[in-house]
Amino acid sequence: MNPSAGGGRALKLLPEVERAFAARGIAHRTVQTEALAHGIREVRESAARGEIPVVMSGDGLVGQIGGVLAGGDVPLGVMPGGRGNDLARVLGIPKEVEGAADVVAAGAVRKIDVGEVNGHRFLGIASCGFDSEANRLANEAELIRGNLVYLYAGLRTLASWRPARFTVTLDGERYQFTGYTVAAANNKAYGGGMFLAPDAELDDGKLDVVIIGEIGKLRYLANLPTVFKGTHVKKEGVTVLRGAEVEIEADRAFAVYADGDHLADLPATVRVLPRALGMIAPPVAPE
């Protein structure tokens, strides 16, 4: 459990989580992380002992721990405790403690893909360009609670944004464009419920590559609310491609953020590790 996750939300909810686990007969012990390296070390040691890690934090720690466990036989559980909780949202894990504890107690495991950018693993969406500055500002805005931080960061970034020239090579096919953002999506959502890649699937072995081209700032601002419904992909200037590996370059330096954290810098290669991680999650309903 990351005690600073969600502006202290995780720490506040910890007693309730421990009571919920005890009520369901889940034998457990609690570790409060001191830093990312500490959390990773604890998970590796617990997995080696045959324990099942359950992370109570935001998407950043969940993504890093998921990357550590990828390729192994130990599944990962999640108790949503951050600001965004987008992986839990898409997996159908309830935000409230009781519902999330029920999922952990049921123990159903679903295999999902894991993304990798320049060797660093993630579970959600790796993005750069406009998103690089917006993510940086969101991470620095410690006094803004909840999902408002993402709106604040987006508006701040838009005020000073100038378009960039990107080169995207997807499974060997090259594209060039001027615009805002390139995002390689393993998950549908990021930023606390923004469905940037509404058709992305966590277990299809593909990345949905979302390209936002050159449009006016007023139009960008007008389209921003549609991202929460995923309908922006139908708008002019938005292109969605799909593939297993994408190389991204730009005419200026950009950080690549994924699961809310700075994982790499351009130029970057993003690829997918198919069904590499077991997640404790509600079973997928048959179609």
Catalytic residues, by residue number, are: 261
Judging by DSSP bridges, how do beta strands 173-185 and 207-213 pair with one another? antiparallel
CB–CB of 74/278 below 8 Å?
yes
Contact call for residues 105 and 212 (beta carbons, < 8 A): no
C-beta atoms surrounding 129 within 10 Å: 26
Whole-Å CA distances, 172 to 168, 201, 208, 239, 248: 9, 22, 15, 18, 12
Is the separation of the CB atoms in 277 and 76 below 8 Å?
Answer: yes
State the Cα–Cα distance between residues 124 and 258, nearest whole angstrom.
Answer: 6
For residue 123, give the nearest of 279, 282, 281 by alpha carbon.
279
Q: What is the CA radius of gyration of the chain?
A: 18
